[in-house]
Amino acid sequence: MELLSDTLWDVVICGTGLQQSLLALALSRSGKKILHIDPNAFYGGGEAAFSLQDAESWVTRVSMGSGGLFASPSITKHEGVVGLSSSRAYSLALAPQLIHARSALLSQLVSSRAYRQVEFLAAGPSYIFKPSQDSQQPTLVRIPSTREEVFSTTDVSSKAKRLLMKFLKFVLEYEASPQLETWQPHADAPLTGFLQQEFNMDAELQTYIVTLTLSLDGNIRTKDGLAVIRRHLSSMGVYGPGFAAIYPKWGGLSEITQISCRAGAVGGAVYMLGTGIKETEIVDNEVKVQLTSGDTVKARMLVRASESVTRQTGISKLVAVISSPLSSMFQPIVEGAPRPAVAVIAFPAGSLFTAAGTGPGCPVYLSAHSSDTGECPVGQSVLYLTTLSTPDAKAILGRALESFIQATSQGEACQVLYQLQYEQRAGPDGFEVDGPVFTLGAPSPSLSFDDSTLSPVREAWKQVMGQAAVYPEYMVFDDREVVLDDDEAYDRW
């Protein structure tokens, strides 16, 4: 039997987070000698999905300091509350990101044929939370982003609707003249200012549009905002009427990591979980890696995730399981549309206040997942709340959860069965190369998958492949299995 240390590996990949897993997928037909390790006992790294028990183990580990970017985790189970099912009935996602139809990730999953192993669900409508006024209940209002939605919303005046339509049309062509000349002077200024100046939009309308961008600080720049909204608009209807984004069943990006590593294994890569790196040494442009398993291996290249934390503001997260299926949130949006499994609710800055009276200067986003996602049993829902890290963040997230339940409960009692809270600090962008060591930055934490996460993967692939890299073939594979042939029709009776 060949020992690990006998081989000169083409690449050792440490970690099975999204970027590392996609790299394994990209290399799965290359014939390269790949050793893919992960210090965790599970796949997925920072994008993993957990059963309740796995979540508890994770919280313990992170509390002990080996959580990478994650910090301050805690779990609150509500004692005496009947309804929490067995541990394996849940798959709580660390990266429950929506993937827009026009995202490059999807085209890569398609061209690499990996998409066949993922079940995608429709990610549905966006809502804005309107706090209670004059003793009225708080409500959730749909954010219109297509012509038909603008048509049917009763929340917006006729004049405002016309402004919205003009803006939506503008965005669809925003890279052409004369639109380009109109916004370029504002490119780095806040989008809200641009909306006010060029489209005469009031604060309420501005809020709608900024919420569509899912911007975490509510202060997105014009050029970024226009790009995100255009992607949303052009993604609308691509995979079916009424929705612009999709969501992988069974835990979001975690599922992508699973199938990518599987593809890597089928392609011959060696997988070792529960194995991390103790030490590395660069010798003659090769890297000697001492593993925690005791083995020392030699490789032409090492790909790993960065360990550093930057000073940028991180995010604060709350994952809550509630005892309601939230059926009204998950109705098909239009005739003939599939039932959405994910709905996004935004709490704009200023719509929430803690008991102390302090409010966040930045929005809170709540991504509601039905049991269709496989993340909880039927009759329950999983809520993923995100906001920028501030001293108040935890309290604000709790308030958002309460307000959401108030706005949607419609008289039925809805209990919070389980809560998982944690901080996710900011890591560096992009990647770093130091000879044979390739260090991946942190993937973008945005609520909708950011394609910028994909470029470092491609760079790593280029470096592994060296001269053999054929760029148009990146992530382009044929099916391994023979797909149903036309000939069947000729032979069948």
Instruction: Please state the closest distance from residue 331 (CB atom) to other proteins, in A.
Output: 13
Question: For residues 180-219, which are near other proteins according to CB under 8 A?
Answer: none
Distance CA 140, CA 211 (A): 13
| DSSP 8-state symbol, 422 | E
**Binding to other proteins by residue 489, rule CB under 8 A?**
yes
Which helix or strand (DSSP H or E) is residue 151 part of? helix 147-152
**Binding to other proteins by residue 334, rule CB under 8 A?**
yes
Buried b (16+ CB within 10 A) or exposed e, 354-376: eeeeeebebbbbbbbbbbbbbbb
**Binding to other proteins by residue 484, rule CB under 8 A?**
no
Q: How far is CA 384 from CA 93, 149, 216, 367, in A?
A: 9, 25, 14, 5
Q: Among residues 6, 181, 284, 335, which is the contact residue for other proteins, using CB under 8 A?
A: 335
Query: Nearer Cβ to other proteins, position 96 or 242?
Result: 242
Q: Among residues 75, 104, 141, 150, which is the contact residue for other proteins, using CB under 8 A?
A: 150
**Binding to other proteins by residue 104, rule CB under 8 A?**
no
Question: For residues 223-242, which are near other proteins according to CB under 8 A?
Answer: 241-242
Q: Among residues 166, 223, 249, 288, which is the contact residue for other proteins, using CB under 8 A?
A: 166
Distance CA 105, CA 256 (A): 10
* Whether 145 contacts 233, CB under 8 Å: yes
Distance CA 304, CA 315 (A): 23
**Binding to other proteins by residue 158, rule CB under 8 A?**
yes
**The total number of residues written for the chain in this structure:** 493
Total H helices, total E strands in the chain: 13, 22
Instruction: Please state the closest distance from residue 457 (CB atom) to other proteins, in A.
Output: 33
Question: For residues 289-328, which are near other proteins according to CB under 8 A?
Answer: none
Strands 381-388 and 315-322: antiparallel
| Binding range to other proteins, per CB under 8 A, among 114-122, 157-165, 186-194, 274-282 | 157-165
Q: Among residues 337, 395, 469, 476, which is the contact residue for other proteins, using CB under 8 A?
A: 337
Instruction: Please state the closest distance from residue 143 (CB atom) to other proteins, in A.
Output: 15
List the x/- string, 413-442, binding to other proteins by CB under 8 A. ------------------------------
Distance CA 175, CA 286 (A): 45
Applying CB under 8 A, which residues contact other proteins?
A: 147-148, 150-152, 158-159, 161-163, 165-166, 241-242, 334-337, 486-487, 489-490, 492-493
